[in-house]
Structure formats: C-alpha cells, structure tokens
C-alpha cells in the first residue's frame, strides 16, 4: 500500500454568468454587424493555501482572428503564481489571460482552455464574471453598437450557455489513496457477453475490464459494434451505477499522430490535430465525467498508452525511428495533448489519472529508463500540476511476465550474467513487477508525488499451459538457461501483437505488492491487437507487419518471427480464437 498523501485536494467551482457588453474597439466587436458573445467554465482544485484553476472560454460570436484576451477580477486576495496555455498577468485583483502565440484565432463555438496555479488565504471565491475582448460572457450573443465604449451595460439576462453548470456538473470530493481498495470494479456488459460467447468464458466474464475510448465516436457510442462496442461513455457510467460498482476504468486513447511507431493502432487524428483532440475528444469526455450523478464513482483514466516512450526510443537516429515519431516530438503534440488531458480530467474530484509507462522490454535499459521518466514529468508539468497524475501503469496491452520465478537480473550462469543472454539483452529488468517498482522510485526522484501508485496490466501475461517451465534449467550455457527457464515464452520480448501461447494472468487484485495499486485487466482479453492482414476500416487503424504470422521481423525485434496468431481482426475487435487460447494457458489456471 502506498503512503497516503499529506494534503487532501478538494474541488470547488463556479461558473461565470454576467451581463452583455455594449461592444467597442475590440477584436470581436469592430463593427455593428459583428456578433459578440461568450461563455466561460471555471473550476478551482483547492487546498489550504493554494489552488489550481482551470478555465474554458467558448466564443459564441463571430470568429476572432486577431488574438483574444479573457479578463476577470478576483473577489478576494487570490494571486496567480504560474500559468499555462495562455499568457497570464495580474495587477492587484485584475487578471488578463491572453492567447498563446500558437493560438491567436478562436472560431465561432470554438473553445480555448488554460490553467494556472495560485495562492490565497481565507475564502477562495470564484470570480463573478469574465469578459472576452471586452465583452462580458453571459452565454449569449449581442451585436455591438457603433460606440467605442467598452463599459458593460447594467442590464442582465439569463444565461443560455450549454456549458455544464458547476452546481450540476462539477463533482466535489477528496481522492482516496488507492481507488481500487474496498470497492468492486465495473464489469463491461459488452465484453462480458463476448466472453460468455466462447466456451468456458463464464469463468472469467465477471472480472472488471477497461473501456477503450479509442476514437471520438466511442464517446457517445455508435451502432458499429465491430470494434469496441456500441455503448458510449455515459452509458457505461450509468451501467456502473446500476451495478453498484465502486470504480470504472477508461482508456483515453486518441492522441494526434497516435502510436507513431506501430501502424495497427494508428488513430483517426493526424499529427497536427491537437486542437481537435482538445475540443472534440477531451472536452466532451471531461464534461461527461464531471456530471454530479457520478460523484460517488471512482473514475480511473488510463491516459494515452504507447505514446511518450516513443519520443525517447523511436526518434532521431534510433533503430526504431519513424518520421511520425520525429514529428510528434518536434510539434509537442504528445506532451501538450497529454498535459491537456491530465489538466481537464485532473480537475474533477473523483477521477484518477494513470499515465502509461510502457514495459520493461521497452524502457528497461539505462538509456531509456531515465529519459522516459523525464518526458513523463514534462507532460505532467504541461498540465499545470504534477498532482494531476495519480499514478502510472505498465505492460498495458502487452505480454511481459509479471514475475520470472526461475531467475532474476542478478542470476549468473557459469560465471556469465543473464543480462548477457540474447533474451535479456543487457536489460536491467527481467519482469514487470521489479520494473514497475523501480520505475516508480525513479518517477518520484524526478519530481512526482511520493504517493503515486503503479498498475500492472496482467490480462495476458500468465504464460501457463504445457509450455510453462516447471523450474530453472540445468544448462550452463546462459542463452540455453534463460530460454529454458523463462516464463515469458515469446520469440522476442519486442513482440507485441496477438502472441501465440499467451495466457490470462493474475486476476484483477487491489494492492497486491509494495507500491502497486492493483493488477488490472486494462486490455480486455480477447480484443485483438491488430489485423493479420490489411482490413479496410473507418477507424484509422492500419496494418502492421508485426501482426502477420509470416513476418520475419525487423531491427526492433532482433529480426525474429512476429509470433502473432493468424486470422486476427483489426485492433479492438473481438478475436474469439485468442480468447480461447488465453483461457487455456491461464496462470493461475482457471
């Protein structure tokens, strides 16, 4: 069990509703024919002497092209100390937030989001009103008069904003140390039905699994159930309430230029679609999760798997470098996108953000280990507060063994360390548990909160069945010893697609080991990693040769066979043959 943080974080919020401004010499009101208007959503995540503010402004009037500024006045002694995604200045109680250089335009119905850290004493009361380029944001629009006066009128009008009102959509509360302890998890009825459609599936169908939000259409659900199902986020949350579940898990997975090193899990958004990621994907998710009806439900967000480590291992002159990964590092899309997601979702009192931290077979080498922790800190800092990260998850949708019981990284064979074997390849770790615990310590050392916890995805890393070694090898050759002793039976530790011989791993369990919040099934067993051949689809998912059983490999997997199962559908689609194999090779056995 990880230590409980010393400072509880409560969420308070208020919305800005004001009066209509008369107009004037501002960007949105340069003539009598230009309509002006705006709405603002404001929240404050407060503690005893400080808070993190989050502001979203929506332009309801004509497009703004010459830059925007949002102004307000503090009713108390609040003092901003740091801001992000806007240039924020304060004079006395008056605050101005101006657009960053990369976001001077704000189209009709477009939103801009920014945040800040601030100090206060006494009562942290929200601002009474906000103004966008001199126009008070009341949720409606007005055509300004020819006058250049910027003084607001004294008339008031009811808000017509569709932005969530904090009284009904922002959830107050204090996060618990470990959201998995003491409550039952949500069982996805769509996955449960698929599992039970395979003989013997009822033995595991009541385990909680994560729901993948892998495209914008998944938020509201769709009639296309070929992939992750037709239920949208709100439908899953409502079902969780009906089940009496204490927690529900979502995978937030739709970054621009997603998964830049693997075609099978490419997404619908291009490398330059960060604004769309924010407004069309993260903002709607945050709005749904903020609904007060879900205030007693612990919402666990697994944030953007297989992203940040790519900016370390698959860029520049690295063996696995790709042009898309180079682009995403250069344009900041991954760091800023994840920062935005952490900021929006971290502002809610009952959400828990766990950032994906790859696995030992990816970043277990010294050259990758520290730099990956550093770039994760950058993404957390881009959110405005590293405390927006509750923890990290390793082995998501992967197959690395939880524990190699027959040897450790310190084992020697005939005077030769196992690190020198072809399988271990000088890695500092041989299994996920030792890696996750060590990486947690590294993350804390670079600046994360000492209370962070780790998750390990054990949905497909059991490696039971007849191929599982019963004990250590007696060979004195280090390669033979490791190959005959290892629990992980993959051809190469870099193989990741629909692996032949894999089995279900440890069932979802809370607080199983030091520093580990839970073993979880984030990748629902039986959902494909990618298609064995090119299958046209409308989800942006391509064909990756690592999913082809006949593929003979590349530099990233030591030019080894892929080890993939045949006849697989696109990633996320139901793959009953794989599910049957996973049950047959489960460890612990079913």
Summarize the annotated binding site as residue ranges. 212, 214, 359, 362, 398, 496, 523, 527
Alpha-carbon span 103 to 18, nearest angstrom: 25
Supply angle C-alpha 236, 238, 240, rounded to 5.
Answer: 70
Would you call 326 a catalytic residue per the annotation?
no
Supply angle C-alpha 285, 508, 575, rounded to 5.
Answer: 75
- Burial of residue 505 (CB within 10 Å: 0-12, 13-18, 19+) is buried
Would you call 366 a catalytic residue per the annotation?
no
Instruction: Please enumerate, as own/partner, the contacts of 413-420 that have beta carbons within 8 Å and a separation of 24 or more.
Output: 413/475, 413/476, 413/477, 413/478, 413/481, 413/482, 414/476, 414/477, 414/478, 416/478, 417/478, 418/478, 418/481, 418/482, 420/478
- Check residue 587 and give left, alpha or beta (phi > 0: left; psi -120 to 50: alpha): beta
Give the pair of three-digit tokens for residue 152.
């607001």
Whether the Cβ atoms of residue 285 and residue 213 lie closer than 8 Å to each other: yes
Closest Cα to residue 250, out of 282, 280, 276, 274?
A: 282
Strand-pair category, 36-46 with 141-142: antiparallel
Catalytic residue among 62, 259, 457, 517: 259
Would you call 529 a catalytic residue per the annotation?
yes
At a CB cut-off of 8 Å and minimum separation 6, what does 502 contact?
Answer: 399, 460, 461, 462, 463, 489, 581, 582, 585
Catalytic residue among 273, 449, 517, 529: 529
Catalytic residue among 62, 283, 306, 457: 306
The single residue listed with the structure tokens 């550093």 is: 374
> Using the 8-state DSSP alphabet, how is residue 141 labeled?
E
CB atoms within 10 A of CB 552: 11
Whether the Cβ atoms of residue 16 and residue 164 lie closer than 8 Å to each other: no
Query: Which ranges constitute the DSSP H helices of 464-524?
Result: 478-485
- Residues found in the chain: 590
Strand-pair category, 351-356 with 391-394: parallel
Residues in binding site for substrate: 212, 214, 359, 362, 398, 496, 523, 527
The single residue listed with the structure tokens 């004493």 is: 121
Residues marked active site are found at 259, 306, 529
């Amino acid at each position: 069990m990880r230590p409980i943080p010393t400072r509880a974080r409560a969420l308070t919020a208020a919305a800005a509703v004001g009066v209509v401004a008369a107009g004037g010499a501002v960007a949105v009101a340069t003539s009598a024919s230009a309509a002006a208007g705006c709405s603002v959503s404001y929240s404050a995540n407060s503690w005893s002497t400080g808070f993190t503010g989050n502001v979203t402004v929506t332009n309801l009037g004509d497009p703004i092209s010459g830059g925007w500024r949002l102004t307000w006045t503090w009713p108390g002694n609040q003092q901003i100390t740091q801001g992000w995604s806007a240039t924020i200045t304060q004079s006395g109680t008056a605050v101005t937030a101006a657009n960053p250089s990369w976001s001077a335009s704000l189209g009709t119905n477009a939103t801009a989001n920014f945040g800040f850290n601030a100090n206060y004493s006494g009562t942290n009361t929200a601002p009474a009103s906000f103004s966008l380029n001199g126009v008070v944001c009341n949720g409606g629009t007005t055509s300004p008069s020819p006058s250049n006066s910027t003084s607001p009128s004294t008339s008031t009008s009811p808000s017509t904003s569709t932005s969530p009102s904090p009284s009904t959509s922002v959830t107050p509360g204090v996060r618990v140390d470990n959201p998995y302890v003491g409550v039952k998890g949500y069982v996805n009825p769509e996955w449960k039905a698929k599992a039970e459609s395979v003989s013997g599936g009822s033995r595991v169908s009541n385990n909680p699994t994560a729901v993948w939000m892998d495209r914008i259409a998944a938020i509201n659900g769709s009639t296309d159930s070929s992939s992750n199902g037709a239920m949208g986020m709100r439908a899953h949350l409502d079902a969780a309430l009906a089940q009496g579940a204490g927690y529900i898990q979502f995978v937030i997975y739709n970054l621009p230029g997603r998964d830049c090193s693997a075609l099978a899990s490419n997404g619908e958004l291009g490398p330059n679609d960060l604004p769309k990621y924010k407004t069309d994907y993260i903002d709607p998710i945050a709005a749904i999760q903020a609904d007060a009806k879900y205030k007693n439900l612990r919402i666990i967000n697994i944030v953007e798997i297989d992203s940040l480590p790519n900016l370390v291992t698959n860029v520049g002159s690295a063996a696995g470098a790709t042009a898309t990964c180079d682009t995403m590092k250069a344009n900041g899309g991954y760091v800023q996108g994840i920062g935005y997601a952490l900021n929006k979702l971290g502002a809610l009192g009952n959400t828990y953000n766990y950032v994906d931290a790859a696995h030992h077979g990816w970043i277990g080498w010294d050259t990758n280990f520290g730099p990956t922790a550093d770039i994760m800190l950058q993404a957390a800092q881009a959110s405005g507060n590293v405390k927006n990260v509750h923890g990290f998850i390793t082995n998501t949708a992967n197959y690395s063994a939880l524990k190699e019981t027959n040897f450790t990284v310190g084992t020697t064979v005939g005077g030769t360390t196992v690190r020198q074997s072809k399988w271990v390849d000088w890695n500092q770790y041989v299994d996920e548990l030792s890696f996750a615990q060590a990486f947690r310590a590294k993350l804390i050392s670079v600046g994360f909160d000492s209370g962070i916890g780790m998750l390990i995805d054990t949905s497909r890393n059991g490696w039971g069945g007849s191929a599982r070694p019963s004990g250590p090898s007696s060979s004195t050759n280090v390669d033979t010893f490791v190959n005959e002793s290892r629990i992980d039976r993959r051809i190469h530790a870099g193989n990741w697609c629909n692996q032949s011989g894999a089995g279900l791993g440890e069932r979802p369990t809370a607080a199983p080991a030091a520093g580990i919040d839970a073993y979880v099934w984030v990748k629902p067993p039986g959902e494909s990693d990618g298609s064995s051949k090119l299958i046209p689809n409308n989800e942006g998912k391509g064909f990756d040769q690592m999913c082809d059983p006949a593929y003979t490999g590349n530099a990233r997997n030591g030019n080894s066979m892929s080890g993939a199962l045949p006849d697989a559908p696109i990633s996320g689609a139901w793959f009953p043959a794989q599910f049957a194999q996973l049950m047959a090779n489960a460890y612990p056995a079913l």
